Amino acid sequence: MIYGIGVDIVEIDRIRDAVDRWGERFLRRVFTEHEIAYSYKKKEPYLPLSVRFAAKEAFIKAISAEIHLAMNEIEVINREGGQPFIEVKGRLKTFFEERSIRRVHLSMSHERKYGMACVVVEK
């Protein structure tokens, strides 16, 4: 049974501008160490940063913002095959257990100017 669905789109330049303006302060407030390291291993780090930002926003929409989370408490990781998923830990793990949420589906994509993500949360 579907618990919630969320979709988000972000301009890649918006993330680039935020990093240029706020630097580490922005990065650490929004992303985890793993997400930052993963993104900066890429030729164009703003693409993976952008889709991760969109994934976090889509995830918050999918759970209807029933729990207040800092964006860096939501972590997007890639499986060995490349498929992205949201790591559930800490307060989020407890939230999932209390609501019998068992799975999060995540799809992300980017083009020259935009990054987008779609999240489906399943009970």
Reduced to 3 states, what is the DSSP secondary structure of residue 101?
coil
Catalytic residue among 42, 56, 61, 105: 61
Only one residue has tokens 């800092």, namely: 70
Determine whether the annotation assigns residue 17 to a binding site. no
Q: Is 56 assigned a catalytic role?
A: no
Q: Is 68 assigned a catalytic role?
A: no
Catalytic residue among 41, 68, 93, 110: 110
Q: SS3 breakdown of the chain: % helix, strand, coil, rounded to 5? A: 45, 30, 25
The 10 Å Cβ neighbour count of residue 109 is: 12
Determine whether the annotation assigns residue 13 to a binding site. no
Q: Which residues are catalytic?
A: 61, 110
Annotated binding site for Mg(2+): 8, 57
Binding site members: 8, 57
